[in-house]
Structure formats: C-alpha cells, structure tokens
Amino acid sequence: MDKILRGIQSIRGSISVPGDKSISHRAAMLGAIADGITEIEGFLMAEDCLSTIDCFRKMGVEIEITYENKGRIDGEEPGCEGFDSRPESAVVKIFGRGLYGLKKPDGPLCVGNSGTTIRLLSGILAGQDFETEITGDESIKKRPMGRVTWPLKLMGASIDGADGGSRAPLKIRGGRLKGIEYKLPIASAQVKSALLLAGLYAEGSTIIEEPEKSRDHTEIMMKAFGADICRESNKIRLTPVERLTARKIRVPGDISSAAFFLAAACILPDSEVIIENVGINPTRTGIIDALRLMGADIQILNERTINGEAVADIKAKSSGLKGIEVGGAIIPRIIDEIPILAVAAASARGTTVIRDAAELRVKESNRIAAMVEGLSGLGARIKETADGMEIQGTNRLKGGRVNSFGDHRIAMSLAIAALGAEGETIINDVDCVKISYPGFFDALAELNKFGD
Ligand code: S3P
C-alpha cells in the first residue's frame, strides 16, 4: 500500500506508544521456559512479537491473549471481534513449560521479518534435545546469522544453514552445551541474548564481553525470573540455575516508536508532544542524547522504575536544531533510531556526520542506502559513507515519491520527513509499519488534528 502525506505546520498533543518490542519478545521467551504463568501487560501486538508467540505455540506452549475490557481471543491469529483492527497491545499469559518442557514442533518455525526472534530463539533451541528448523521472510534470509551460530557451535550446538550456516533457514540440534567465555566482535544485544539464553542450558558459567554496552533488557529480565546473572564492567556472567520462575511483567512504551514523534515535534514549528509511559533504559536513550546535542528541547517527566526498567513521560517541543557528529559508544544506544536522526539532521542547521554505524547495512534493509535514497528524493543533501552518512541541513525538504524498502523504520522515518516537506510525498509499501507499530499513521493523524 502507498501512503500519501502532505507537509504540515505542527503536531500537538499527548499520546502513548505501543509496548517495547525488545521487552515483549523477551517476556514471551522467558515466560515460555519458566515454571508457572507469566502475565505480560502491554505486550506489543505487532507482527514481530506475534511471530515469537507463534513459534512458542508450535513448541507446545499455551499462550492466552486478552484485550483490555474486550474479552479473550485465542488461537493463532486473533479474531478481534468488536475491533476494526487488532489492538496494538494486549495482556498475554504464557503458561510456562519450564526449561526442559518445550516440545519438538511438527514443522519449521517461521519468524517472519523478526531478527530478534530468530537470533534469540536460536539460543533457546541450542539447549533443546531435538532438532528444529527455523526460517523467515526474504529479508531474514539475507541477514547474517553466523554471528549467533558460530558461538552457539562453540558451546556445543550443531547448526546447519544456508551459506555454511551463516544464513537462514537454520537447522539447530541442541543438546549438552558448555559455558564459554566469548568476546563479541560487535555490540549486539541479539547475539548477547542468544548466548545468555543458551547459557541457561550449559554446564558451567557463560561469560560474554561486549565492546560497547548494548541494550540490557535480557539481563534485567533474566534476573527478575530468578537467573544467576551479573555484570562487571563490560562482562556479563551467567551461571545456570535449576529453574526460572514466572512473574508479572509490565511492558513500557517503546522509545524506538516514540522517537518518530519526538523528532517530528522538534523539526515542525509550533509543536509540542508528550509521550506517556516510555521506557528510558539508558541503553536505549541515545536518540534523546543526540537530539538534545542538536539543541532539542526535550524533557523527561515523572520518572519511575517498573520491573527494573526506567520509565518516564517525554515532552518534546519545536527546537532550532543544529548538526552534530555521532559515533562510537552511542551507536548501539541509538542504532534503530539513526534513520529518524537522519531526518532531523536533514532539517537542522549545518552538517551532521554519522559514523561507526555499518551495522545499519544488515538490518531489515540496508538502512544507510535506504535513507540516503529516500531523503535525497525529498531534496536533502545527504551522502552515503562506508559506515554511516553525512547530511547537510536544508531549509525545507520537498515532497516526492520515495521507497520504504519494506522496512518499518524507513517507512516511519520518511513519513516524518514528509510532514516537514513542502507539498505531497508518496511513500510506497507502508504496510511494513505493522512489524513494530501497526497504528503509527493513526497516531500521527491524531497528533496532527491538534496541530495545524
Ligand atoms: C534488538 C537489538 C538490536 C536492534 C533490534 C532489536 C534486540 O539488534 O537493532 O531492533 O531486541 O535485542 P542487534 O543486536 O543486531 O544490534
């Protein structure tokens, strides 16, 4: 589906964004291998997290989905009676089968577009004494899996896959694993998490060293489920326990979804938004730091801690932004928000240089190439570099026809760029927003209603 958007003056209002994708995945996974019933409030009902649910159902885990005040909807694809479309958030109950209770699925598991599902689940599958095949869509089949399969093999799993085991589909046969000490070649929370999950099934401790600190939701949640896990500077040590114990989880709003509206409020004149109940785990707040460095007026309000995760309301206002240099340790903390940062940079004064971000090339799309093409199509002066991009701010972008490359974050970033552009923009293939934020365009319309 194509989306036509016109430049607008401002956005105003107060909204909440759907639940954090990374936390939703982890809650479902740990719930499935814990003893007891894990109740997850605010679970993100977007395609990626539904893929995780589907995989565990296929391994015998009972999962019940309830929409607030609207009764229970069971089955693989919720019927959603009484709704125009599936609500974005639900209460999900996972009837845990314990560490050793998963059963061999009847056929291959499919993760759709979800890199988090395939990588983290590979860690769990490496600990099972049955063989599983795991695959996904065309984008997943292109993404690098060797970064996970290589260390899992070092732990004792046997894994085959396309391209010598470095691409999906993967065939994973687990069994007796041994803990390893492993230095991650790149800061990747998905790889770290896969190894920690495998470590639950290993003999001896698993020690992982990260070059830079990546998101630590797995560590926080594992601890809450009773795992023996601790961090000393850049090293995380996990020692197996007999069992994990189910618990109640409240998922905060996803800062990666909030980021689109924060950037929009900063670049559009006369704008002010408050986004309520957003996770502000410091491993995820690079976008706030970067926008503030650019001169953004962003305030953190009503800060609190829920399930060990920092949560707050975030207020952003129109701000005269200026170009900055971004690279080094901030990159893992802003990795998913670099496309929207590029949009902010395109309407800032001066030059923005983004470096050390070559990982963007192996996300759902090549996000460096996709943003350079998209923003150039809207009149931005932007140049691709090997590990990032250089953007010269311009007074006002111009509408045009642009491509999402089927990547949810590219579609949403270009939508915000379109709001700041003069005239009309057509973005092709925006259905992909349902990967992480099905109601994105409705939320945008809601904020615009109180704007212009
Ligand atoms: C994620 C980690 C990041 C991020 C992805 C979600 C996670 O990937 O880009 O959207 O939930 O662990 P990498 O670990 O590959 O950096």
Q: Is the pLDDT of residue 68 over 90?
A: no
Clarify whether residues 11 and 29 are in a common domain. Answer: no
pLDDT in tens, 164-192: 889 999 999 988 899 999 999 999 999 99
In a domain, 359, yes or no: yes
Query: Do residues 230 and 357 both lie within one domain?
Result: no
Q: Could you tell me if 113 and 199 lie in one domain? A: yes
Nearest residue (by CA) to ligand 1, atom 11, is: 22
> Which atom of ligand 1 sits closest to the CA of residue 363?
9
Radius of gyration of the chain (CA): 21
336 in catalytic set: yes
Among protein residues, the one whose CA lies closest to atom 13 of ligand 1? 188
- Could you tell me if 230 and 372 lie in one domain? no
What pLDDT, on the 0 to 100 scale, is given for residue 8? 85
Q: Are 416 and 427 in contact (CB under 8 A)?
A: no
Distance 5 CA to ligand 1 centre (A): 29
And the tokens for 167?
A: 């691409």
Q: Report phi then psi at 414, rounded to 5.
A: -70, -30
What span, in angstroms and rounded, lies between the C-alpha atoms of 64 and 75?
8
The one catalytic residue in 297, 336, 429, 442 is 336
Residue 231 backbone class (left: φ over 0; alpha: ψ -120 to 50; beta: rest)? beta
Which numbered atom of ligand 1 lies nearest the CA of 191? 14
How far away, in angstroms, is 74 Cα from ligand 1 center?
29
193 lines ligand 1 (CB under 6 A): yes
101 and 187: one domain?
Answer: yes
Q: What is the domain range of residue 234?
A: 21-239
**Mean pLDDT, all residues of the chain:** 95
Closest CA to 331 of 368, 373, 363, 283: 283
More confident residue, 450 or 130: 130
Average pLDDT (327-340) is 98
From the list 56, 49, 65, the residue with the least C-alpha distance to 434 is 49
Are 100 and 145 found together in one domain?
yes
Q: How far is the C-alpha of 195 from the C-alpha of 281, rounded, in Å?
A: 21
Residue 372, domain member (yes or no): yes
Which residue from 30, 210, 215 has its CB within 8 A of the most atoms of ligand 1, so it is best to mutate?
215
Start-to-end CA distance of the chain, whole Å, equals 26
Atom of ligand 1 nearest to the CA of 26: 11
CATH at 268: 3.65.10.10
Q: Kindly state whether residue 128 falls inside one of the protein's structural domains.
A: yes
Regarding whether 117 and 11 lie in a shared domain, the answer is no
pLDDT at 388 over 60: yes
* Beta strand ranges found along 280-373 (DSSP E): 297-306, 309-317, 325-326, 351-354
Tell me the pairing of strands 202-203 and 249-250.
unpaired
pLDDT tens-digit series, residues 227-246: 999 999 999 999 999 999 99
Taking the centre of ligand 1 as the mean of its atom positions, its distance from the CA of residue 87, in whole angstroms, is: 24
- Asked whether residue 245 is domain-assigned, the answer is no
Testing ligand 1's pocket by substitution, the residue of 21, 25, 116, 210 carrying the most ligand atoms inside 8 A of its CB is 116
Tell me: pLDDT of 78 over 80. no
Whether 270 has a pLDDT exceeding 70, the answer reads yes
Six-digit token string for 130: 């049955």
> What mean pLDDT comes out for the span 353-361?
98
Sign of torsion, CA 344 347 352 356? positive
Pocket flag, ligand 1, residue 336 (CB < 6 Å): yes
Residue 363 alpha carbon to ligand 1 centre in Å = 9
Going by the DSSP 8-state scheme, the letter that residue 96 receives in this structure is E
**pLDDT of the residue at 448:** 86
Give the residue, out of 20, 145, 188, with the most ligand 1 atoms within 8 A of its beta carbon, to mutate for a pocket test: 188
Torsion sign, CA atoms 32, 34, 40, 43 = negative
Q: Are residues 307 and 211 in the same domain?
A: no
Same domain, 125 and 208: yes
Nearest CA residue ID for atom 10, ligand 1: 336
Based on the domain organization, do 235 and 279 belong to the same domain? Answer: no
How many whole angstroms separate alpha carbon 197 and alpha carbon 121? 8
Model confidence at 79, pLDDT cuts 50, 70, 90, reads: very low
Structural tokens at position 345:
């940079």
Question: The tokens of 13 are what?
Answer: 């209002």
Please state the domain count of the chain: 2
In a domain, 94, yes or no: yes
Does 335 sit in the ligand 1 pocket, CB within 6 Å?
Answer: yes
Ligand 1 centre from 380 Cα, in Å? 28
Q: What percent of the chain has pLDDT over 90?
A: 92
Reported as a single tens digit per residue, the pLDDT across 7-45 is: 988 999 999 999 999 999 999 999 999 999 999 999 999
